[in-house]
Each structure stands twice: as structure tokens, then as C-alpha cells.
């Protein structure tokens, strides 16, 4: 499975699209926005006074309301700061990055409205697509003042090698052998190092990066915090194997290219790579129920887990359909919705977000 070919959020604006099922990710963006705002103000205040253009990038921007919301909020923050300080006008160059198969068309189609919005009261803001993997160079050297990324860097560049023994699991799971955890962690370290190396070329000295990564709070790699949501999806797939709907061999060869790091693991890689100084590192939590749309907007909502299952479907459907075929998808997510409802009624499960702010040396 080539990640670059199969990893993408569900395109379009239909019922099962990412655009329509990313409220949980939006809540994470909102929760961490004050951190990003403080960082971008810091960059603005320390910018060379002769600089007329601030360049920023959202890495793993996806497609949907979250994409433009982030950049709009950041640009607005600078305009408000500028109004207060009365300093000269500033133009913005905004790069929206994602993998080439991301639905950039939907973003660009919605742009005319938002450019006007940014134009009225704000100021010139030029938005550009930057398709490609953030595990490679994306921008010219020393051009970026600010890099933002939310819920993207837990995606790896590939499924780790050497995890053929991860039977019955689709990620790290409670029955995964230690060698599987090691393989996932090694892949994360290598990918995150490559990411930092590439960005260290592109970010100007004094530029900031604010990254929020779906991760863990616990430093224990076998903690359920990072993998619970996927373990429940694996339960569904195993159920379908036992009913003969999915071939066992198919299940055994499916693993997701993701790693949910702890704050300590993120810190270690930044320090080892050495191009950035860490300004802050914190963990926040978001309830699984943050994906809930409420009855009024979603009349067919059957149970507590339905909206979260739809949210996970928008994230995982292209990958699952590529491996198992389209025909099982509805069945998988019907079952997943029931399991999620059951767990959410009995427990209080959460996602853990690791947010790091760093400054380029």
C-alpha cells in the first residue's frame, strides 16, 4: 500500500465527506488556536520591519470548513495586532499543503467567497495550493515565517516494515508483539526527523512552527490512549472475518500508517534534529463525543457512536476501500457505530493532542 496513493480524507461535500464530518478536528483547532495565535503574533512582532509579505503554510490542510478557517483566524489575528500597533500594511502568502490526491478542487471552488471575506476589512491574502508530501521539500529555502499543522503529523510516510506478525490488529493493539510497537516507533522517528530537516531548510530564522499531533499523554508506548479507536475498528473487522465476510489474509495484511506519539517522543526528536528550539509542549484532550452534530442537523443519527463512526469513516474509508473493496464499507461502519456507542455509554474515552511550538534557530 503506497500511502501517497491511498491516504486521503473522503473528498467532496456529501454526507460521508470529510468536509461534513470533521467537527472533532475543528474542536481541536479551536482549543489550540490561542497557542497558534500567540506564536504568530510573536513572529509578526519580531519580523524585519522592511518585510512586506508574511508567508505561512498549513501542512495537511485537507478539504472542508477547517481548511480556510485556520488561515482566516491566523490572518485576522495579525490584522487585529497591526491595527492596535498602527504599523504598516502587510500582505499574506498562504500555502495550503496536502498529498496530491487531496480534494484541492473543493477548497479552491469555495475560495472566491473567502477571498472577499479576507479582502473586506483584512487585506491582501494570496492563497496557493502546495501538493506533495510534507516528508519531502515543499517550499523554497528560507521563505516561511509560520508553519501550522493540525491532526496530520501522526500519519506516517509508510506502513512500517516487519509487522507481518501483527495479526488481528490494524495498528498497535493490546495483543501486538513488542516488535510491532518498535517498528511503528522507528518509522515515526525517521519520518519526523525527515519532516524537521525539510522544514529547517524552508523556515526563516525566528520563524515558528505550531504542530498539533494526535498522540498520547502517557509515555508508555503500550498505553491504550493512542490506539483504542483503531482497536475497536479492528474488532469489527475481526468479527467480519469470523463471519466469512472478510478473508483472514486480507485482515492480516492491513495496517494503518499512523503513530500516536507522546510529548516526550516528540521533544526527543526535535532536540535530536537540532534546528528548532522548543517554546512550549502541551497535551490537551478531546472527548470522542466532540464529533456529535446533534439531532437537529443529523436526523438519521441513531446513537452516540454514529457521528464518531462517520468522522472515522471520512478519515479511513479511502484506505479501507482500497484494501478490502468498496462493498464492505457500509457494513463496517454500521457495526463500528454500535461498538463506539456502547463504549461511549460505559466509558469516557478521549483523544489526546500533543501541541508543540518551536522556533527556528
Q: Which residues form the interface with ligand SAH (CB under 6 A)?
A: 7-9, 22, 25, 29, 60-62, 66, 97-99, 102, 133-135, 150-152, 155, 157
Backbone φ, ψ for residue 258 (5° rounding): -140, 150
Q: Which is nearer to ligand SAH, 134 or 228 (CB)?
A: 134
DSSP string for 169-238: -SSS-TT--HHHHHHHHHHHHHHHHHHHHHHHHHEEEEEEEEEEEEE-SSS-TT-GGGTHHHHHHHHHHH
Q: Which is nearer to ligand SAH, 3 or 246 (CB)?
A: 3
Q: Which three cell numbers stand for residue 156?
A: 506516517
Q: Which is nearer to ligand SAH, 54 or 211 (CB)?
A: 211
CB of 90 to ligand SAH, least distance (A): 24
CB of 109 to ligand SAH, least distance (A): 17
Q: Which is nearer to ligand SAH, 4 or 245 (CB)?
A: 4
Q: Which is nearer to ligand SAH, 95 or 335 (CB)?
A: 95
Q: Which three cell numbers stand for residue 133?
A: 508530501
The residue with its CB nearest to ligand SAH is: 60
CB of 157 to ligand SAH, least distance (A): 6
CB of 81 to ligand SAH, least distance (A): 24
**Sheet-wide strand order for 350-360:** 125-131, 91-98, 53-59, 144-150, 203-215, 350-360, 276-287
Contact 78, 90 (CB under 8 A): yes
Contact 9, 62 (CB under 8 A): yes
CB of 122 to ligand SAH, least distance (A): 21
Close Cβ partners of 105 (under 8 Å, ≥ 6 residues apart): none
Amino acid at each position: 500500500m503506497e500511502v501517497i496513493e491511498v491516504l486521503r480524507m473522503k473528498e467532496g461535500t456529501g454526507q460521508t465527506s470529510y468536509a461534513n464530518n470533521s467537527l472533532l478536528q475543528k474542536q481541536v483547532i479551536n482549543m489550540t488556536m490561542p497557542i497558534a495565535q500567540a506564536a504568530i503574533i510573536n513572529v509578526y512582532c519580531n519580523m524585519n520591519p522592511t518585510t512586506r509579505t508574511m508567508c505561512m503554510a498549513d501542512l495537511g490542510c485537507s478539504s472542508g470548513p477547517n481548511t480556510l478557517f485556520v488561515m482566516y483566524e491566523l490572518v485576522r489575528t495579525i490584522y487585529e495586532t497591526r491595527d492596535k500597533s498602527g504599523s504598516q500594511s502587510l500582505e499574506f502568502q498562504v500555502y495550503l499543503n496536502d498529498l496530491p490526491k487531496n480534494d484541492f478542487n473543493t477548497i479552491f471552488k469555495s475560495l472566491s467567497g473567502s477571498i472577499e471575506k479576507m479582502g473586506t476589512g483584512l487585506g491582501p491574502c494570496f492563497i496557493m495550493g502546495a501538493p506533495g508530501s510534507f516528508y519531502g521539500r515543499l517550499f523554497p529555502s528560507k521563505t516561511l515565517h509560520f508553519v501550522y499543522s493540525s491532526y496530520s503529523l501522526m500519519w506516517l510516510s509508510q506502513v512500517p516494515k516487519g509487522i507481518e506478525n501483527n495479526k488481528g490488529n490494524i495498528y498497535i493493539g493490546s495483543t501486538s508483539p513488542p516488535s510491532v510497537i518498535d517498528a511503528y516507533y522507528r518509522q515515526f522517528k525517521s519520518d519526523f526527523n525527515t519532516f524537521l530537516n525539510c522544514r529547517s531548510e524552508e523556515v526563516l530564522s525566528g520563524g515558528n512552527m505550531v504542530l498539533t499531533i494526535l498522540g498520547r499523554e502517557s509515555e508508555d508506548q503500550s498505553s491504550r490512549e493512542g490506539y483504542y479507536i483503531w482497536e475497536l475498528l479492528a474488532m469489527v473487522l475481526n468479527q467480519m472475518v469470523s463471519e466469512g465476510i472478510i478473508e483472514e489474509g486480507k485482515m492480516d495484511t492491513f495496517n494503518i500508517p499512523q503513530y500516536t506519539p507522546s510529548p516526550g517522543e516528540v521533544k526527543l526528536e526535535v532536540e535530536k534534529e537540532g534546528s528548532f528550539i522548543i517554546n512550549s509542549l502541551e497535551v490537551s484532550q478531546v472527548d470522542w463525543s466532540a464529533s456529535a452534530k446533534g439531532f437537529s442537523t443529523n436526523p438519521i443519527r441513531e446513537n452516540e457512536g454514529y457521528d464518531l463512526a462517520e468522522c472515522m469513516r471520512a478519515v479511513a474509508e479511502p484506505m479501507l476501500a482500497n484494501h478490502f473493496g468498496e462493498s464492505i464499507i457500509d457494513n463496517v461502519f454500521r457495526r463500528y457505530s454500535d461498538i463506539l456507542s456502547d463504549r461511549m455509554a460505559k466509558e469516557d474515552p478521549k483523544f489526546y493532542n500533543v501541541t508543540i511550538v518551536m522556533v527556528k534557530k
